[in-house]
Amino acid sequence: MKKVKCYAPATVANVVCGYDILGFAIENPGDQVIVSFNHTHTTRITKIEGDEGKLPLDVKKNVVGHVVNLFLEKVKSRQGVDIELYKKMPLNSGLGSSAASSVAALVAINELFENPLTKGELLPLAMEGERLASGNAHADNVAPSLLGGLVLIRSYEPLDVIKLPFIKDLFVVSVHPDINVPTGEARKILKQQIPLQKAIEQWGNVAGLVSGFCTGDMDLVGRSMKDVIIEPIRSMLIPFFCEMKEIALENKAIGFGISGSGPSVFALCKNKDQADEISDRLYHLLNRHQIKSESQVTKMNNKGALII
Ligand code: HSE
Q: What is the CATH number of the domain that holds 185?
A: 3.30.70.890
72 and 191 in a single domain? The answer is: no
Q: Taking the model in full, what pTM does it have?
A: 0.96
Element (H, E) at 295: strand 293-299
Q: What is the pLDDT of residues 230-256, one digit of tens each?
A: 999 999 999 999 999 999 999 999 999
Pocket of ligand 1 (CB under 6 A): 13-14, 19-20, 94, 96, 138, 140-141, 183, 186-187, 260-261
Q: How far apart are CA 154 and CA 163, in angstroms?
A: 10
CATH value at residue 40: 3.30.230.10
Q: How far apart are CA 220 and CA 21, in angstroms?
A: 19
Distance 218 CA to ligand 1 centre (A): 24
Would you call 298 helix, strand, or coil by DSSP?
Answer: strand
Number of domains in the chain: 2
Q: Is 96 annotated as a binding residue?
A: yes
Q: Is 77 annotated as a binding residue?
A: no
Residue 4's Cα: distance from chain center in Å? 23
Straight-line distance from the first to the last Cα atom of the chain, in angstroms, rounded to the nearest whole number: 17
126 and 43 in a single domain? The answer is: yes
State which of 11, 16, 17, 19 you would mutate to test the pocket of ligand 1, scoring each by most atoms of that ligand within 8 A of its C-beta. 19
278 and 233 in a single domain? The answer is: yes
31 and 126 in a single domain? The answer is: yes
114 and 190 in a single domain? The answer is: no
- Residues ≥6 apart with Cβ < 8 Å to 84: 33, 34, 35, 45, 46, 47, 48, 49
154 and 193 in a single domain? The answer is: no
Domain ranges, residue 187:
171-299
Tell whether omega for the bond before 158 is within 30 degrees of 0, i.e. cis. Answer: yes
Nearest CA, atom 8, ligand 1: 260
Tell whether omega for the bond before 232 is within 30 degrees of 0, i.e. cis. Answer: no
Element (H, E) at 65: helix 63-74
137 and 42 in a single domain? The answer is: yes
116 and 145 in a single domain? The answer is: yes
| pLDDT at 192 (0 to 100) | 96
21 and 76 in a single domain? The answer is: yes
Nearest CA, atom 1, ligand 1: 20
Q: Which atom of ligand 1 is nearest to the CA of 14?
A: 1
Q: Which atom of ligand 1 is nearest to the CA of 13?
A: 4
Backbone φ and ψ for 2, nearest 5 degrees, come out as -65, 135
Q: What is the pLDDT of residues 40-98, one digit of tens each?
A: 999 999 999 999 999 999 999 999 999 999 999 999 999 999 999 999 998 889 999 99
72 and 182 in a single domain? The answer is: no
| pLDDT at 167 (0 to 100) | 87
| pLDDT at 94 (0 to 100) | 94
Q: How far apart are CA 150 and CA 144, in angstroms?
A: 6
66 and 196 in a single domain? The answer is: no
Distance 18 CA to ligand 1 centre (A): 10
| pLDDT at 155 (0 to 100) | 98
Q: Is 150 annotated as a binding residue?
A: no
Beta-strand pair 22-38/80-86: antiparallel
Low-confidence ranges of the chain (pLDDT < 70): none
Q: Is 100 annotated as a binding residue?
A: yes
13 and 82 in a single domain? The answer is: yes
